Amino acid sequence: MYRPFTTIGMNKKTEKLFYPLGILALGAGKLWYYALAGPGVVDSHGYYGEAVIRLQQEGTIYFSGLACVYTETLSDIFPFVGNRIEAAGICQLLFQVAWLEALFVGMGMIFGKAAGAVTAGSLALSPWIGETLFEICPENFYMLHWSVVAVVFGSLALRMKFAGWCADKWEALYLLLAGLYMGLVCYWNWLGFFLCLPAGYLLAKAYFAYGRKGLATAALAAGLFLGVTLGFFTVLSVDAGLTGTTGAKQFIRWFREIRQPGGGSQDMDICLALWLAGGLLAGVFSQWAFWCLGRKEVTGGMEKVADAKNTAEEEGQGNYIVTQDGRRIRLLDNPLPGPKKHVKRKMSFDIEEVGDLEELADVAGKEQWQGIGREEAEEKPDLLEERPLQDGFREELSGEEDDFDFQISQGDDFDL
């Protein structure tokens, strides 16, 4: 019999243990890799040095928004953990474990657990992602914010699923705030526009799966677009003010930094874009494959249940029945008195066959012709034409010793 399972083949009890065990396993694996396999933490791009400088004095060397925020974050953490480069490496480790877990949760809430597991797993096992543990760079810090936005959209997906899409008037405001955060992430790096994939999926699901009207869905999409636009240009204006330039020049600079020398893209390695795109596509495709397999299994289970039901109905007339899960149950005789067996009623007439009717006709004809003499028969020959010749009349017209021709009706001449 078909039993419902989750998209990754676990029941609910096992699923509750998967999240904490997965977090512990990922954290322990990353820590073990960092402790044994790493060549040591290096500061190839100077972010660590800039963070140490910011501890002593105000000012900034980097004009990019992401670089500025990343170095500011490191300088705020150093007073608690020390300003050694190993402390920056520990921060990289924590950032990476946090964003991988957030990515798994967010993608799982939006698309399904299979998509979350495949996307986060492929990025966690990536050799390039592992190398970022030993280099002070903003990739892990940026992906933490990217994954948090995915979790925000995931919480909206759960609300859509269990509470109904646009259940109250605060849904539009929720989308607006989510768009502001997404606009910030998009300005830091163009990889933020990859978040349009889960956002578009939510809007499409609201329209097709949850029956939202086109105008209402378009209004929510417009609210999300407004939030992204406001967030993007607000951060651009702040960055332009910090660098002492105009908004138009800062916008042009933002486009120019998409492609930087040495394979960089807005202060991050272009390899992150390739791994992220591949992980997202693999996760969505795997979820679609699991959905197809689950649908086939459900269809097959429904067919088995229908067959078992039909078998139970057909075989239930005997002394046993077959349940839907295939078990055969023997039936007990009813100890209570039941209705009497139906007996067909018979006609009370003596006539049983068609031959009896012919016999009655012969008897009636015999009784009819008794008392008719030979002279009366000769005087009334028409009676012989109207009535059939009966045995009784034959006995009266002829004697035992007579042997002559006698005309019974006109044109007939035969021996009696």
User: For residues 181, 183, 186 and 188, what is the CA-based torsion angle, rounded to 10 degrees?
Assistant: -70
Structure tokens that stand for 69 in this block: 């925020």
- Which residues partner with 330 through β-bridges? 320
Residue 367 CB partners (closer than 8 Å, separation 6+): 392
Q: How far apart are CA 384 and CA 336, in angstroms?
A: 70
The C-alpha angle with vertex 214 and arms to 208 and 216, in degrees rounded to 5, equals 110
Q: Residue 142: what are its φ and ψ, rounded to 5°? A: -65, -45
Q: How far apart are CA 189 and CA 46, in angstroms?
A: 19
Structure tokens that stand for 278 in this block: 């591949």
User: In Å, how far are 41, 99, 123, 140 from 93, measured between CA atoms?
Assistant: 11, 10, 14, 8
Q: What's the predicted TM-score (pTM) here?
A: 0.66
Q: What is the pLDDT of residue 39?
A: 62
Domain boundaries, the chain: 18-302, 358-415
For residue 351, the Cα-to-chain-centroid distance in whole angstroms is 72
Structure tokens that stand for 375 in this block: 């002279």
- Which DSSP state fits 332? P
Structure tokens that stand for 88 in this block: 């920056």
pLDDT in tens, the chain (416 residues): 334 334 444 556 666 666 666 666 766 776 676 666 656 788 888 888 888 887 776 655 555 678 888 988 888 888 888 888 888 888 888 899 899 989 999 998 899 888 888 898 888 888 888 788 888 889 999 999 999 999 999 988 888 777 665 555 677 788 889 999 999 999 999 999 999 999 988 888 877 766 556 677 787 888 899 999 999 999 999 888 877 888 888 888 888 888 765 556 777 888 888 999 999 999 999 888 888 887 655 455 555 555 555 554 544 455 667 777 767 777 776 677 767 777 777 666 555 555 555 565 555 555 454 445 555 555 555 554 555 544 444 444 455 555 555 555 555 555 54
- Which residues partner with 167 through β-bridges? none
